[in-house]
Amino acid sequence: MTISILYFGMLAEATGHPSETWEATDPLSVGQLREQLLQKYPVLRDRKFQLAVNQQIADSAMPINTNAEVALLPPFAGG
Amino acid sequence: MTISILYFGMLAEATGHPSETWEATDPLSVGQLREQLLQKYPVLRDRKFQLAVNQQIADSAMPINTNAEVALLPPFAGG
Amino acid sequence: MEKTHTPKKVFVDGPISPQFISDSIAKHQSKTNIGAHSLFLGQIRADQKDGGVVTGIEYTAYTEMAEKVFHDIREAAFAKFDLVCMHIYHSLGLVPTGEVSLFVFVSSAHRRASFEALEYVVEEIKAKVPIFGKELIGETGEYTWKENK
Amino acid sequence: MEKTHTPKKVFVDGPISPQFISDSIAKHQSKTNIGAHSLFLGQIRADQKDGGVVTGIEYTAYTEMAEKVFHDIREAAFAKFDLVCMHIYHSLGLVPTGEVSLFVFVSSAHRRASFEALEYVVEEIKAKVPIFGKELIGETGEYTWKENK
């Protein structure tokens, strides 16, 4: 299945791009995707980030469906 | 001794004037002055008010000295 | 940090205009140790009373005492909270419904101090400053005397 | 009372000007059920960092999600507090030191609701809205990423 990944702020900087298309095996949980991302981008290991799936903050157990939009969000700085 | 009395807001309305000079016997406490004021102006009996002596809120026991400025303050409405 | 807090002019004639408020805000843009401003505006409500709707409040004050009390509130707020600066303005005379009669403006490096100081200062003003308000009702010259809760 | 709270435009390009703030205030003078306005302004501080002083913050956001979260915060605040109206504005792009990047404006009949809602809304924004800030340092192109506490 195909999902779309978005990187924001310092994470776009760390990975070198703001988004990419990700080919993954189905089923896939948020926790499993996080592991795969850390494998591809070891630089993310020492960064704090949360994952949002379809614009909702997601915990590790949440399943990711095909065509999902997954965003990697560094610490918030609004205000 | 002579003191000066100021009436504000609804109390100026009730007494009919914003200020007057008051001749009083010495010593005089705030509580005693309040009694004398209520005698002269029975209309004040059903009004809420505080007394300030020389621009400080005063309790009944506080003595009033000659030339003091005593103000009758109805409920505050700032803001 | 302001170290000396000289008494400031608080009372203004009539309503406090939005332009006056934005001028105050603009003046603080050069104070680059400020990270948070909290502002309170008291606006006159068209409350329904026996006899009609409130059309405005006519404010009077025991001004000499009021200025002292404003100064004391100011000093106490600077002592309690880590503020960069603070301004208080209050109307005297007629303020029509919909217009602003109280403007409290507190500024600090971080937001918590400004929130806490704002509430503190407004509550102190309502409770302690000898300001009196005649609520004008309808078109017939009726009024009641306002009392803070 | 606003009964339906349609999503509103929150993001503005660059700093929020004092004039924009006074225009917002002026628009509320016809809402004569309002007695209390509380406003919060977040202003960029010239903090000292390794390498120099902060000269501004460059804001970016996950805008689609941010707009949803702003809407949720707005709905939650209307449910929790007795408000007449509420406005939130946040900058995107560069906001120089001394200028305003966040403007929260809550209005109610009585003061307590406006105080409580102001704090609630600002804290929720800081904690939950995916906005990111690059603090620009000195004159040499250095920067650090800001993180809310």
ipTM of the assembly?
A: 0.94
Look up tokens 């806490």; give the residue: C116
The stretches of chain D forming alpha helices (DSSP H) are 18-27, 63-80, 111-128
Per-residue pLDDT at D5: 59
Domain annotation covers residue D126? yes
Residue of A nearest to D148 (CA): A77
Domain count, chain A: 1
Domain annotation covers residue C6? no
**Would an 8 Å CB–CB cutoff place A14 in contact with chain D?**
no
Domain annotation covers residue A78? no
The pLDDT of B15-37, averaged and rounded, is 95
Give the range of the structural domain holding residue A48, as residue numbers without chain letter: 2-73
CA count, 13 A, side-chain hemisphere, B48: 6
- For residue D118, give the CATH number of its domain: 3.90.1170.40
Give the global pTM. 0.95
The pLDDT of D88-116, averaged and rounded, is 98
Strands B69-73 and B2-7: parallel
Measured CA to CA, the distance from residue D68 to residue C8 in angstroms comes to 44
Domain annotation covers residue C20? no
Measured CA to CA, the distance from residue C80 to residue D140 in angstroms comes to 39
Give the range of the structural domain holding residue D65, as residue numbers without chain letter: 32-145
Domain count, chain D: 1
Domain annotation covers residue B78? no
C98 with D32: Cβ contact below 8 A: yes
Domain annotation covers residue D11? no
Could you tell me if C50 and C111 are in contact, meaning their C-beta atoms sit under 8 angstroms apart? no
Instruction: Report pLDDT digits (tens) over C70-96.
Output: 999 999 999 999 999 999 999 999 999
**Would an 8 Å CB–CB cutoff place B18 in contact with chain C?**
no
Backbone angles phi, psi at D96, to 5 degrees: -70, 155
Asked if pLDDT for residue B57 goes beyond 80, the answer is yes
Q: What angle do CA C75, C101, B19 make, to 5 degrees?
A: 80
Instruction: Report pLDDT digits (tens) over D14-30.
Output: 999 999 999 999 999 99
Share of chain D above pLDDT 70, in %: 95
For chain C, what's the residue count? 149
- Which positions in chain C touch B73 (Cβ < 8 Å)? 62, 130
Asked if pLDDT for residue C2 goes beyond 80, the answer is no
- For residue A34, give the CATH number of its domain: 3.10.20.30
CA count, 13 A, side-chain hemisphere, D148: 20
Among A71-75, C52-56, D118-122, D145-149, where is mean pLDDT lowest? D145-149
Asked if pLDDT for residue D4 goes beyond 90, the answer is no
- Which positions in chain D touch A71 (Cβ < 8 Å)? 62, 65, 130
Strands B56-57 and B28-29: unpaired
Could you tell me if C138 and C53 are in contact, meaning their C-beta atoms sit under 8 angstroms apart? yes
Q: What is the identity of the amino acid at A20? A: E
Per-residue pLDDT at C7: 64
